[in-house]
Amino acid sequence: MEFKEVIGRRRSIRFFDRDRPVEREKIQTILETARLASCAVNAHWLRAIVVERDKLPPEKLSQLKTPVAALTLDLAPVHIYFFVDLGTVNRVKGSRLKELVDVGALAPSHGWSHKFVDDFVYPQILEPMTRNLEGYVPAAFADAGGAAQNALLAAFDEGLGACLNTPNPVLTKQVLGVPDDWISMWVLLLGYPAESWEAGGQRPRPDFEELYFDGEYGKPFKRDPAVVEKLKAANMIQAPAPLPGRREEIKKLTEELGLPE
Ligand SMILES: Cc1cc2nc3c(=O)[nH]c(=O)nc-3n(C[C@H](O)[C@H](O)[C@H](O)COP(=O)(O)O)c2cc1C
């Protein structure tokens, strides 16, 4: 699928074919896309644990449910739990930046060398940053979030449906037994959709010009209708929800999957 169409076709899928397994190859592809995400100081905070729903003891599955993501956990055959490994920066101590120097991604023309990393970047920026948790934690989460977004898009490119959810951070850590310095972030619920790929249409968003500004706060970045038309032609901007027949689709899915109305 073309990039713009992947963006356009992605929407949170919450009705899955609960009995259709997801091929391991597709799960790996999804993880590979997360690994290739850009990442501040090449630190790579994102960690993932792939859970096959049917291999999880029922009591553990129950513990992982939240009020806003209980049924979806039952329906999705694969759950990828994302964590942020806060310990990574002080374990690798600038070595991943030096790898970038070695391969010519960070060049001397821009001030980069092993010495710059060892004498300045790690001891004066990175290590102190990890002690300022108020700044460090949001930065690491934002970074890992970008990588998880790659994974989310890859799921749709692979013909799957997916929905990101926020699990209970304490229970997730307990149930999955992760190291102390991993913080729970999101879970990517994954499977073949039981609903149509349109899933009722593209979901509502705030107005473009309410979100983005041109040069200064308060001056909206003007949305050019000609660009919108181009993006519609590329299937990135699609028909908005609700599409006709969505209520009926939900009713049918509810009956077919034996769900409460
Ligand atoms: C980080 C994150 C956490 C989310 N958590 C939940 C959740 O716990 N339960 C849920 O039903 N949807 C969850 N969603 C899905 C959003 O509610 C979704 O963005 C919204 O339904 C409409 O947008 P979309 O269909 O284009 O994704 C989450 C989405 C993101 C990105």
Q: Are 80 and 154 in contact (CB under 8 A)?
A: no
DSSP, residue by residue, 100-165: HHHTTSS-GGGT--HHHIIIIIIIIIIHHHHH-HHHHHHHHHHHHHHHHHHHHHHHHHTT-EEEEE
Domain presence at residue 34 = yes
Give the residue-averaged pLDDT of 62-70: 91
- Which amino acid does the sequence have at 157? D
Give the residue-averaged pLDDT of 157-171: 96
Domain presence at residue 155 = yes
Q: Are 192 and 15 in contact (CB under 8 A)?
A: no
Domain presence at residue 211 = no
Domain of 162, in residue numbers: 3-194
Q: What pLDDT shows up at residue 22?
A: 98
Which residue has the least CA distance to atom 18 on ligand 1? 12
Number of folded domains that form the chain: 1
Domain presence at residue 210 = no
Q: Which two tokens stand for residue 40?
A: 């501040």
Domain presence at residue 232 = no
Q: What pLDDT shows up at residue 261?
A: 83
Q: What pLDDT shows up at residue 104?
A: 98
Give the residue-averaged pLDDT of 87-110: 97
Q: What pLDDT shows up at residue 4?
A: 98
Q: What pLDDT shows up at residue 69?
A: 86
Give the residue-averaged pLDDT of 42-52: 97
- Decide: 205 in ligand 1 pocket, CB within 6 A: no
CATH number at residue 103: 3.40.109.10
Q: What is the pLDDT of residues 189-211, one digit of tens each?
A: 999 999 999 999 999 999 999 99
Q: Which atom of ligand 1 is nearest to the CA of 69?
A: 9
Q: What pLDDT shows up at residue 194?
A: 97
Which residues, including other chains, have CB under 8 Å from residue 5's CB and lie 6 or more apart?
A: 234, 235, 236
pLDDT band at 15 (very low <50, low <70, confident <90, very high): very high
Ligand 1 midpoint to CA 163 (Å): 6
